[in-house]
Amino acid sequence: MSNNSLAPSAALVASVKTPARPEVYDTAAIQKLDTAHYMHPFTDHKALGEKGARVMVRGEGIYLWDSQGKKVLDGMSGLWCVNVGYGRTSISEAVYRQMETLPFYNSFFNTTNIPAVELAAKLVKISPPQFNHVYFTGSGSEGNDTNLRMVRRYWDVLGYKERHTIISRHNAYHGSTVAGASLGGMDGMHAQGGLPIPGIVHIGQPNYLESGRGMTEDEFGIEAASWLEKKILEVGPDKVAAFIGEPIQGAGGVIIPPATYWPEIQRICDKYAILLIADEVICGFGRLGKWFASELFGIKPDLITFAKGVTSGYVPLGGVLVGDRVADVLIEKGGEFNHGFTYSGHPVACAAALENIRILEDEKLVERVGNETGPYLKKRFAELADHPLVGYADSCGFVAGLNLVRVKGTTVHENVPFDEEKAVGMVCRGYMFNNGMIMRAVGDRMIIAPPLVMTCAQIDEMVALIRHCLDLTYADLQQRGWL
């Protein structure tokens, strides 16, 4: 290893076969520099500094390798994004070719670039029929900032200058910019920096476990949607611009709403002519077995936020699919929309997205999740509910979650949870992490969102790993006297 770089020499890397050899990397030195200079997102640095970060160095398919040569099954697709899996040479080549030809040009001053044009046309083709326009951003957060400005602009242009309030939900995640975090419903984020900004209000989430006691799932879906109408009437229908929601809440803990919820939300939005924004940053691009989850839930949003799976995370890209209702007004009557980013329609990101979508299409990954691997995951994942720690397990397409409980009741509402301070989810996550499985903990709910390339055999492997780690967690909790 050279003295002035932490990166191993090219020759050494070339010689590294799976699994990566630990002696190639000076893990302690990387961790030390990491702690000294790199501020991570959503991280308690004092705590991280004491342990040191795990250094990921390589990925292939659904697996990752860290700097110590340990192989991990990535049950989270990076961060809900690596839909086509790691190590796709054709994406790297598409990116390289584009960088060689035209690494960057802007789309501000009556100029455009070919990958952005092609990608916009492609997205229109694979999205629901009401979408004929695309607004590109650099991330999902910027996509939702764009939504906020766009829906207010829409009502302004039509002469309804009072219609500026956006209704969202508690425990929603819509990104980390000021507008994104305000639209989101994360208490921890609102507690820092004086959020939410004015003109954004929140209603309850359709979380059957938390709020559905005494109701069937279908009854609860209607009840949870009625909170929207209540809020509209409270704010005043002539003041509400839009409702925003993730079809399935991701970061909030894979909250899968009852089947009755979204159609009722759609009905209420229609009744008051309120714009519907579907934040499909996670749910889009095949995650739920359809190109867009709006198709699955039978809704017709006016705007769809996308990011993550559009490039499988290989390079950053986000944006908004703009439905005809909004696009027609902005284009025909709006004049200039004073909004945009240096990297809107970045040619390299768009080239990566085009190749990513080609892979999803050619390998029929969306259909496979919809018809084959998604249903198989549902069946295998549901079996985990027989584990003594698991009070509830559900899934949809390629997202799934299970709840760790102290005592299992006869119905899900009679389960007895652990004390929150015990952070049992983090104990479980630790066992997963140290035994080759990445599964995320949201409180005591353990969640996955695997790469769409995962096969049925790999689902078996993953479920076995999860069960093994649940056993280890169970034994540990018994020893602590927590059971």
Ligand X SMILES: *Cc1c(COP(=O)(O)O)cnc(C)c1O
Q: Which residues of this chain interact with ligand X, rule CB under 6 A? A: 80, 139-141, 144, 173-175, 246, 250-251, 279, 281-282, 307-308, 318
Residue closer to ligand X by CB (options 30, 303) is 303
Residue closer to ligand X by CB (options 304, 359) is 304
We find the least distance from the C-beta atom of residue 328 to ligand X, in angstroms, to be: 26
Where are the extended beta strands (E) located within 185-297?
A: 200-203, 240-245, 275-279
We find the least distance from the C-beta atom of residue 14 to ligand X, in angstroms, to be: 33
Residue closer to ligand X by CB (options 229, 279) is 279
We find the least distance from the C-beta atom of residue 357 to ligand X, in angstroms, to be: 18
Residue closer to ligand X by CB (options 24, 167) is 167
Q: Which amino acid is at 120?
A: A
Q: Positive or negative CA dihedral for 402, 403, 407, 411?
A: negative
Residue closer to ligand X by CB (options 175, 258) is 175
We find the least distance from the C-beta atom of residue 169 to ligand X, in angstroms, to be: 12
Token pair recorded at residue 20: 């990566």
Strands 318-323 and 131-137: antiparallel
Q: What residues are paired with 320 via a beta bridge? A: 135, 305
| Residue of this chain nearest to ligand X (CB atom) | 140
Residue closer to ligand X by CB (options 131, 376) is 131
Cα separation values, 238 from 163, 166, 203, 273, Å: 6, 12, 18, 10
Helix axes 89-101, 347-362, angle to 10 degrees: 150
Phi, psi of 241 (to 5 degrees): -90, -45
We find the least distance from the C-beta atom of residue 138 to ligand X, in angstroms, to be: 8
We find the least distance from the C-beta atom of residue 353 to ligand X, in angstroms, to be: 14
We find the least distance from the C-beta atom of residue 420 to ligand X, in angstroms, to be: 24
Contact criterion met (CB below 8 Å) for 5 and 25: no
Token pair recorded at residue 163: 């219609």
* 114 vs 351: CA distance, rounded Å: 9
CA 128-289-404 angle, 5° bins: 130
Residue closer to ligand X by CB (options 250, 397) is 250
* 256 vs 476: CA distance, rounded Å: 30
Residue closer to ligand X by CB (options 90, 342) is 342
* 337 vs 179: CA distance, rounded Å: 18
Q: Which amino acid is at 323?
A: G
We find the least distance from the C-beta atom of residue 320 to ligand X, in angstroms, to be: 11
We find the least distance from the C-beta atom of residue 277 to ligand X, in angstroms, to be: 11
Among residues 271, 208, 276, 213, which one has the least CA distance to residue 247? 276
Residue 362 makes CB contacts below 8 A (sequence gap 6+) with none
Residue closer to ligand X by CB (options 8, 252) is 252
